[in-house]
Amino acid sequence: MPLIAPSLLSANFLNLQQDCDMLNASEADWFHLDVMDGRFVPNISFGFPVIEHIRKATSKVCDVHLMILEPEKYAEAFKKAGADILTVHIEACHHLHRNIQQIKSLGMKAGVALNPHTTIDSIKDVLGDIDLVCLMSVNPGFGGQQFIERTLERTRALRKMIDDHQLQVQIEIDGGVTLENARSIVEAGAHVLVAGNTVFRSNDPAGTIKKLKSIS
Ligand code: DX5
Ligand code: ZN
């Protein structure tokens, strides 16, 4: 059974309380919060005040996905805002090991995200130091994009690497997850499914989360 992490990028920003209430009452496991800086990715989303308010509106895990340059400058502020998991992009970190140490020392779980072009092998030497790998299944920056099929092979390769080393690292798949492709993603070895459009554009968001969750 996968963990479900709806992305609030597709939520109603004029009524976040309502969407938080829906997620709280649903089978969603995590709140996936996408932070974009307009530099690492060609879009700007939201920052600390929004996350602080979401933190107050839920006791579920706040999974913060940073699509920003120089994440070390802001890690402490994201902890203060309420992040439980902080994920940085490998492509944005010159000193990834140091970034991971910083996140852990602040008392958060550490995640590393890989863009679709970044080889799985590039994560190998820090795999024992992190809690989560976020495999991007779209190019980051926007919700509602189409799933890149090659991600399935990448997921299998990463899962094998994790299992071969008997690690507890979770694989999160982010981008273009639908009711149609979710099963194959889980079968490839994913532990966590991020879903923005599929959940929030649905007529029955809680029912859609339930369907994603029921994949065995
Ligand atoms: C993309 C974000 C994703 C995105 C997922 O840059 O990291 O979390 O919001 O949205 P969907 O599920 O709509 O592709
Ligand atoms: Zn994301």
Q: Each residue of 65-116: pLDDT tens digit?
A: 999 999 999 999 999 999 999 999 999 999 999 999 999 999 999 999 999 9
* Residue 55: burial class (beta carbons within 10 Å; 0-12, 13-18, 19+): middle
How do residues 168-206 score in pLDDT, each as one tens digit?
999 999 999 999 999 999 999 999 999 999 999 999 999
Res. 126: pLDDT tops 90? yes
Q: What is the count of structural domains for the chain?
A: 1
Position in ligand 1 atom list of the atom nearest CA 9:
9
DSSP 190: -
Cα(143) to ligand 1 centroid in Å equals: 4
pLDDT of amino acid 41: 98
Ligand nearest to the CA of 177: 1
Binning pLDDT at 50, 70 and 90, where does residue 160 land? Answer: very high
Give the Cα separation of 159 and 63 in Å (integer): 20
**CATH (domain of 62):** 3.20.20.70
Residue 34 falls in the annotated catalytic set: yes
From 66, 75, 185, select the one nearest 137 (Cα to Cα).
185
Position in ligand 1 atom list of the atom nearest CA 136:
7
Helix (H) or strand (E) holding 57: helix 48-57
pLDDT of amino acid 135: 99
Helix (H) or strand (E) holding 141: none
pLDDT of amino acid 38: 98
Q: Which of 10, 135, 151, 212 has most ligand 1 atoms within 8 Å of its beta carbon, as the pocket-test mutant?
A: 10
Binning pLDDT at 50, 70 and 90, where does residue 216 land? Answer: confident
SS3 content of the chain, % helix, strand, coil (to 5): 40, 20, 40
Which residues lie across from 170 on neighbouring strands? 132
The predicted model gives 155-168 an average pLDDT of 98
Q: Is the CB of 174 under 6 A from ligand 1?
A: yes
From 44, 51, 4, 43, select the one nearest 26 (Cα to Cα).
4
Q: Check: pTM over 0.85? Answer yes or no.
A: yes
Residue 88 belongs to domain spanning: 3-213
**For ligand 1, atom 4: residue with the closest CA:** 143
Candidates 29, 63, 131, 174; catalytic one: 174
What is the distance of C-alpha 196 from the center of its chain? 11
How do residues 1-26 score in pLDDT, each as one tens digit?
999 999 999 999 999 999 999 999 99
Q: Which of 35, 138, 142 has most ligand 1 atoms within 8 Å of its beta carbon, as the pocket-test mutant?
A: 138
pLDDT of amino acid 169: 98
Q: Supply the DSSP string of 70-135, one letter for each residue.
A: -GGGTHHHHHHHT-SEEEEEGGG-TTHHHHHHHHHHTT-EEEEEE-TTS-GGGGGGGGGG-SEEEE
CA torsion sign for 93, 97, 100, 101 is negative
Candidates 34, 37, 63, 131; catalytic one: 34
**For ligand 1, atom 1: residue with the closest CA:** 140
DSSP 8: G
pLDDT, mean over the chain: 98
**Distant-in-sequence, close-in-space partners of 52: CB < 8 Å, separation ≥ 6:** 81, 82
Percentage of the chain exceeding pLDDT 70: 100
The predicted model gives 117-133 an average pLDDT of 98
pLDDT of amino acid 114: 99
Position in ligand 1 atom list of the atom nearest CA 140:
6
